[in-house]
Chains A and B, each alone.
Chain A
Amino acid sequence: MAQKSSEPTRPDTKRLEFKKQNLDDAYAVPANVLEIDVINPETKGIGKKRYTDYEVRMRTNLPVFKLKESNVRRRYSDFEWLRSELERDSKIIVPPLPGKALKLQLPFRSDDGIFEDEFIEERRQGLESFINKIAGHPLAQNEKCLHMFLQDPIIDKNYVPGKVRNT
């Protein structure tokens, strides 16, 4: 009942008093920018050691990330590594990766198996949605492994797991 007497007393139009938003806040860039693209798949290596990697490009203004913009190349097994690190250390339920496609790796195929363009595109989309889901998660953002995956040029698998900030 901390209402001024000039305000309507009927509850059906009643409102609590507002602080007015200042214009700088109203027109500022939102503080929640986080965009990650998984693009430019490239197949590298020869023969049995052939693999595809993807460019992971990120743009953000969240202060938790060291770099506002970053660009790294990652292959599917790196995504798998990130997923297992998060599963072990963070308390979040990690979303699944797009399938491993063991069947496509069998020899004597008529097509290119896991190097078929269609398959690569499907996997690229799956990886993109996976990494966006994880990177936006407030608890995952605390994990060192995520920062290394997104921003360090090379993943150091012997790193010391830990938190970026303590919540």
Chain B
Amino acid sequence: MSFFGFGQSAEIEIELDGADKRKQVDVKNEDGKKERLYLYYDGESVTGKVKVNLKNPGKKLEHQGIKIEFIGQIELFYDRGNHHEFTSLVRELARPGELMQNETFDFEFVNVEKPYETYTGANVRLRYFLRVAIVRRLSDISKEMDLAVHTLSTYPEMNTSIKMEVGIEDCLHIEFEYNKSKYHLKDAIVGKIYFLLVRIKIKHMELAIIKRETTGTGPNTYNENETIAKYEIMDGAPVRGESIPIRLFLAGYELTPTFKDVNKKFSVRYFLNLVLVDEEERRYFKQQEIILWRKGEVRKKLLSSEHAMKHYESKPQAQVKEESNHADAEE
């Protein structure tokens, strides 16, 4: 027992296999600070070693068992202490007994299902972590290690452009078009605004990306809107018949993929908000949802073959051309 620092205690270290080669990503934690975490994908095995270092070598450490858990959970910030685990795997590393010296245990979670992407928002957090616990009679010794998870999607089958005519009757009629309805996180939004009728004195126009985080269900729904980007696409008053081009690169902004009703707990959706501001600072806007998705990175091996494909670009093979377009987008 460790009263006032007496008695035996131990430190736990978790070491992942292949940690030096594994990709790391920055993930914001609850305090808004960035942490570098090891990145995993759905279906990957999580393996490694647990090292238990005794503080006072020579003295024994009694325990009721040592275990490691792999946990994926959703934390709602207004409902603290009530975590919703959607994945929980346990491996027993040692039976109840005593530790006399430093020891190392191997652990292995094979083909772990990680259905959702790591996310930290205003009211909700989705995280994955490993937790080692040395169970003792009074207080456990435990150690947690967070992992990052990205979900990848393939190129969406349906990706039509968004085209719409909107306005205020007899005041302002515009037609806007965005080239897709689904964009990957490093994509570029290409579009245009066409003015059909302008009877107000417009000063400028901007395109905003709005993130809407919805948590909870039914009457206890919380909405949190955040303007991620504000991008001016026009300065000055247009007249009838004018077109304004749009090209907005998404890579410059902090975006996540769209989350739809994750475990019936939360959603994160993105909207393009087209805002026209007139001389009296009145604002006219139209919001349109876009789906964001994370694209698998082009592997080095593939890249060379895709370079080769470019030479065939002139051939009327729609399939090949699609492919090479994507490679270009990634470069």
Q: CB distance B171 to A138 under 8 Å? A: yes
Contact residues in A for B192 (Cβ distance below 8 Å): 15-16, 18
Select B188's contact among A12, A21, A34, A141, beta carbons within 8 Å: A12
A26 touches B279 (CB 8 A): no
For the complex, what is the distance from the CA of A26 to the CA of B245, rounded to whole Å? Answer: 17
A64 within 8 A of B: yes
Residues of chain A within 8 A of B329, CB atoms compared: 11
Shortest CB-to-CB span from B208 to chain A, Å, is 20
- Considering only CB atoms, which chain A residue lies closest to B202 in the complex? A32
Residues of A within 8 A of B237 (CB): 30, 32
Say if the beta carbon of B191 comes within 8 Å of chain A.
yes
Distance, CA A22 to CA B282, complexed state (A): 29
Number of A-B contacts (CB under 8 A): 87
Residues of A within 8 A of B191 (CB): 16
Give the docked Cα–Cα distance between A18 and B313 (Å): 25
Distance in angstroms from A19 CB to nearest chain B CB is: 7
Contact of A31 among B199, B279, B322, B324 (CB under 8 A): B199
Across the interface, A16 reaches (CB within 8 A) one of B168, B245, B321, namely B245
Question: In the complex, which residues of chain A have a beta carbon less than 8 angstroms from the beta carbon of B198?
Answer: 30-32
CA distance A28 to B195 in the complex (A): 14
| Chain A hits for B172, CB < 8 A | 138
Q: Please determine whether A16 and B278 come into contact, CB atoms closer than 8 angstroms.
A: no
**Option from A16, A64, A165 in Cβ contact (under 8 Å) with B179:** A16
A16 and B179 CA atoms in complex are apart in Å by 8
| Given A9-B328, A11-B328, A15-B190, also A136-B279 (CB < 8 A) | yes
Q: Which residues in A have their C-beta under 8 angstroms from that of B239?
A: 25-26, 28, 30-31
Contact bitstring B310-330, A, C-beta under 8 A = 1, else 0: 000100000001101100110
Which of A14, A22, A28 makes the CB contact (< 8 A) with B247? A14
Question: In which size bucket is the chain A interface?
Answer: 20 to 34
Compute how far the CA of A45 lies from the CA of B121 in the bound complex, rounded to whole angstroms.
67
Q: Which residues of A contact B280 (CB under 8 A)?
A: 132-133, 136-137
What bracket does the count of chain B residues touching chain A fall in?
Answer: 35 or more
Per the bound structure, the CA–CA distance linking A141 and B280 in Å amounts to 15
Within 8 A of B (CB), among A98-150: 132-133, 136-138, 141
**Are B168's CB and A21's CB within 8 A?**
no
Contact status B245-A136, CB under 8 Å: no
Question: Which residues of the partner chain B approach A63 to less than 8 Å between Cβ atoms?
Answer: 170
Q: Is A160's beta carbon under 8 Å from chain B?
A: no
Q: Complex formed: what's the CA distance from A11 to B329 in Å?
A: 7
Return the CB mask of A57-72 against B: 1 if under 8 Å, else 0: 0000011100000000
Q: Cβ of B241 and Cβ of A22 under 8 Å apart?
A: yes
Contacts of A132 in B (CB 8 A): 280
Determine which residue in B192, B237, B240 has the highest number of CB atoms from chain A within 10 A of its CB, and name it: B240
Kindly list chain B residues whose C-beta atoms are within 8 Å of the C-beta of A158.
none
Judge whether A64 and B170 touch: CB under 8 Å: yes
**A10 in the interface (beta carbon within 8 A):** yes
Cβ–Cβ < 8 Å partners of B20 in chain A? none
Can you list 10 residue pairs at the A/B interface with Cβ under 8 Å? A9-B325, A11-B190, A11-B329, A12-B249, A14-B190, A28-B239, A28-B240, A30-B198, A165-B170, A167-B170
Question: Can you name 8 extra interface pairs (CB under 8 A) apart from A11-B187, A28-B239?
Answer: A11-B190, A11-B328, A14-B247, A26-B239, A30-B239, A32-B198, A137-B280, A141-B171
